[in-house]
Amino acid sequence: MSSQRHYDPYAVRAQFPILSRTVHGGVPLVYLDSAATTQKPDAVITAIDQFYRRSNSNVHRAAHALSAEATSIWEGARARVARFLGAQRTEEVVFTRGTTESINLVAASWGSMNVHAGDEILITGMEHHANIVPWQLLCERTGAVLKAVPVLEDGSLDISAIDALLTDRTRLFAMVHASNTTGTINDVGALCAMAAAKGVRTLVDGAQAVLHQPVDVQAIGCDFYVFSAHKLYGPTGLGVLWGRYDLLDAMPPYQGGGAMIQHVSLERSVYEAPPLRFEAGTPHIAGAAGLGAAIDWFDTLDLDAMAQHEDRLTHRATSIIYQVEGARVIGEAPRKIGVVSFVIEGVHGTDLGMLLDEQGVATRTGHHCTMPLLERFHVGSTCRVSFAAYSTNEDLDVFERALTKAVRMLR
């Protein structure tokens, strides 16, 4: 990390209305659950509100002014995402309902054309269920085999195992950019290069990475990159699939319906080129307005200074947790995003989460949709704190007091 730079999370925080509210009859909210979903700044809320107040209409085809405005917003957001990711073409950006649907789209469409009996799909042992189950379903349909890169004790990948796992039968290597449970940041550029050297396609799940660092798909060298708007200060219900255009152009439709066709007869249909081929039906236009605004807002931040700030919070949270007797942090890889998952001996995570909540501290408890990863660490669930651009040291002051009190009550 470069030399420490000033970052003002309080100026950022002032742009998020929800962070000034109280819970449980007057307790100030301390939001430490940003890995589940980020809160939304005024700019995003305003963009969504203005769409419905001024421009609400369906996109494409209509001749009236509102439809033209809605189409401009929709396609403008697509172009904004393309620039954000470093895409070579705007047409490489497909809008979906979220990271989960983006991965399912690739598994169903690309997978149906390229994966057959005896082939192999490689993932990692730290994947979210959204980057496991679609590949399991594909393997069940085709007779392919799913394999996983092991995870080391510190929460990082066993890189030494990858070369042997990438074989002449491997068709795709699907990997998470940053773990939602351990916070581990994977060197996806290096992993994609290893795969490409053996002719293996790659998909990167960037859901947890996009809010913490810049993303350049050209530098990464992946074939597909996916994320969700709601992880990047945008609305729920909208996701992004970026794919190399030649791959998208060769893929069959994922769903059928309006907007994804050039011509329909009772005998056959002719499909649109990407990205429309994969966007059947009326899309989440207001969501696109919100995502475009979210990216514009995000680009106003000093991302290097923000990352340093989040890193300091992560280290402090880890220190606070280790002050508790019997505490164990799950995953302490050298490179992490602002996520800390932990267990405390003799304390059930759900009970801990409820007592923290009573004191206004919002955390996440459970398996975080990473059951195989938690099984590797021999735990069934954890309590997780996670940070974003608006998180502050005062949040951790409250967390420290609340954690001490909660543990005392539970022991």
Q: How many whole angstroms separate alpha carbon 316 and alpha carbon 394?
A: 12
Q: How many whole angstroms separate alpha carbon 84 and alpha carbon 79?
A: 9
DSSP letter, residue 302: -
Place of tokens 């421009």: 55
Question: Are the beta carbons of 234 and 44 closer than 8 angstroms?
Answer: yes
Selected catalytic residue, list 192, 222, 369, 383: 369
Q: How many whole angstroms separate alpha carbon 170 and alpha carbon 104?
A: 19
Examine the residue annotation and report whether 383 is marked as an active-site residue of this protein: no
Q: How many whole angstroms separate alpha carbon 165 and alpha carbon 168?
A: 10
Q: How many whole angstroms separate alpha carbon 396 and alpha carbon 185?
A: 23
408: CB partners within 8 A, 6+ apart: none
**Host H or E run for residue 177:** none
Residues β-bridged to residue 93: 242
CA distances, 407 to each of 104, 129, 272, 382, 396 (Å)? 41, 30, 58, 14, 16
Q: How many whole angstroms separate alpha carbon 152 and alpha carbon 124?
A: 11
Q: Where are the alpha helices (DSSP H) in 5-132?
A: 9-13, 42-50, 65-85, 99-105, 111-114
Question: Are the beta carbons of 69 and 286 closer than 8 angstroms?
Answer: no
Task: Output the six-digit token pair for 87.
Answer: 């895409």
Question: Are the beta carbons of 148 and 175 closer than 8 angstroms?
Answer: no
Place of tokens 């470069």: 2
Strands 145-149 and 170-176: unpaired
Which residue, 230, 222, 260, is CA-closest to 97? 230
Instruction: Please identify every residue annotated as catalytic.
Output: 369
